[in-house]
């Protein structure tokens, strides 16, 4: 499985490098603005980094689904499915390599965020002052900047898990399209509709599920994550269900 992961990661490395190069260019623009005291460059650099970060993450994850879809439609799938590995291992390797690619990007973005905040704080004394002032205001409400960052970080983790669940549901839809629906003329439409229905249903249930520790101020990321534990559990169940469903469908009905 690790060997398959290596090859799957290698297949996605080129788009990842393109994305990282584009983000590095935005970062360079930002740094030129900070050190050259050009506000327009700082602003543009930040906008490109924020929007580019979201777009890049979306692209890298969606690219993983495209690769899987291509493997089931094009001949490159022979290379993957002629190996003596179970479909559980093959799909597991594909999903984990997407996760690894996404994690690489998240780590890269997190490093950029921390570095940029410290760079801008060092070069602009107003930022450090604003940080103290904001902490003071939040303190009067029994909160702090640390609390907000913890909640924000927990929110990002939940969003990432939700997004990864979406990828596994997309895998299930692609698997359905290439297996039980393979002889249907509108298999693409049916599987897309099914994907939307499953995802909306999951999101609706997640919305209806209660949050734990209502009224509690989360001081750390773990405390904030605890609040979303029911949603977190739902996403994990959907993720595992979609993974098993995809592997079983391929085992029963693969047709390359």
Partner 1 sequence: MLKCEHLVKKYITTTAISDLSLEIEPGHIYALLGPNGSGKSTLMKIIAGLVKPDSGTITIDGVPMTYRSKKDIAYMPTEAYFFGYMNCKDIGKYYKDFFDDFDYDKYMGLLAEMELNPDQKAKSMSSGMLAKLKIAVTLSRDSRIVMLDEPLNGIDIIAREKIISTIVRNISDDTAVLMSSHLVDELERIVDHAFFIKNGTCVLQGDAEELRVSRGKSIVDMYKEIYA
Using the rule CB under 8 A, give the single segment among 2-10, 28-36, 108-116, 215-223 that binds partner 1.
Answer: 2-10
| DSSP summary character for residue 210 | P
Smallest distance from partner 1 to CB 181, Å: 11
**Contact, 121 vs 29, CB < 8 A?**
no
For Cα atoms 74, 59, 45, give the angle at the middle one, nearest 5 degrees: 150
Triad 27, 32, 37: Cα angle to 5°? 130
The span of 71-79, 99-107, 194-202, 206-214 binding partner 1 (CB under 8 A) equals 71-79
82 binds partner 1 (CB under 8 A): yes
How far is 236 from 196, CA to CA, in rounded Å?
18
Which region among 72-80, 110-118, 121-129, 233-241 touches partner 1 (by CB under 8 A)?
72-80
Of the residues 11, 60, 69, 168, which one makes contact with partner 1 according to CB under 8 A: 11
Q: What is the DSSP letter of 217?
A: -
Rounded to a whole number of angstroms, the minimum distance from the CB of residue 179 to partner 1 is: 8
Q: Does 77 bind partner 1 (CB under 8 A)?
A: yes
Among the listed residues 1, 7, 111, 133, the single contact to partner 1 using CB under 8 A: 7
- Select the residue interacting with partner 1 from 141, 185, 210, 214 (CB under 8 A): 185
Q: Give backbone dihedrals phi and psi of 49, rounded to 5 degrees, phi first.
A: -65, -45
DSSP 83: S
Q: Which of 35, 54, 78, 204 is close enough to bind partner 1 by CB under 8 A?
A: 78
Task: Write phi, then psi, for 48 (nearest 5 degrees).
Answer: -60, -40
Cβ neighbour number for residue 176 with a 10 Å cutoff: 20
The answer to the question of residue 1 lying near partner 1 (CB under 8 A) is no
Q: Could you tell me which stretch among 24-32, 75-83, 114-122, 197-205 binds partner 1 (CB under 8 A)? A: 75-83
Cα separation, 158 vs 229, in Å, equals 9
Of residues 21 and 75, the one with the C-beta less far from partner 1: 75
Q: Is 3 in the site for partner 1 (CB under 8 A)?
A: yes
Q: Among residues 147 and 177, whose Cβ is nearest to partner 1?
A: 177
d(CA 195, CA 201): 10
Q: For the CB of residue 85, give the shortest distance to partner 1 in the complex, in Å.
A: 7
Q: Minimum CB separation from partner 1 for residue 168, in Å?
A: 21
Residue matched to tokens 């939307």 = 196
The CA-based angle 70-72-77, given to 5 degrees, is: 85
* Residue 190 sits in the site that holds partner 1 (CB under 8 A): no
Where does 176-244 show beta strands of DSSP type E? none
Task: Summarize as ranges the residues that interact with partner 1 (CB under 8 A).
Answer: 3, 7, 10-11, 14, 75-79, 81-87, 182-185, 251-256
């Amino acid at each position: 499985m690790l060997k398959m992961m290596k090859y799957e990661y290698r297949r996605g490395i080129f788009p990842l490098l393109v994305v990282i190069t584009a983000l590095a260019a935005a970062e360079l623009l930002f740094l030129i603005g900070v050190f050259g005291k050009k506000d327009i460059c700082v602003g543009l650099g930040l906008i490109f980094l924020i929007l580019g970060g979201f777009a890049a993450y979306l692209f890298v994850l969606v690219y993983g689904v495209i690769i899987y879809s291509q493997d089931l439609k094009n001949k490159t799938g022979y290379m993957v499915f002629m190996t003596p590995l179970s479909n559980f291992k093959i799909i597991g390797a594909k999903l984990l390599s997407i996760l690894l690619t996404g994690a690489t990007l998240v780590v890269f973005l997190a490093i950029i965020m921390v570095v940029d905040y410290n760079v801008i704080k060092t070069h602009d004394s107003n930022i450090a002052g604003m940080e103290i002032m904001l902490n003071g205001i939040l303190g009067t409400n029994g909160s702090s900047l640390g609390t907000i960052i913890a909640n924000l970080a927990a929110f990002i983790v939940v969003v990432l898990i939700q997004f990864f669940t979406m990828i596994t549901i997309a895998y299930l839809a692609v698997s359905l399209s290439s297996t039980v629906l393979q002889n249907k003329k509108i298999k693409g439409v049916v599987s897309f509709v099914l994907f939307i229905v499953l995802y909306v249903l999951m999101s609706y249930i997640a919305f209806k599920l209660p949050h734990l520790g209502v009224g509690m101020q989360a001081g750390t990321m773990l405390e904030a994550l605890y609040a979303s534990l029911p949603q977190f559990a739902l996403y994990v169940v959907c993720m595992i269900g979609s993974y098993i469903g995809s592997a079983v469908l391929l085992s029963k009905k693969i047709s390359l």
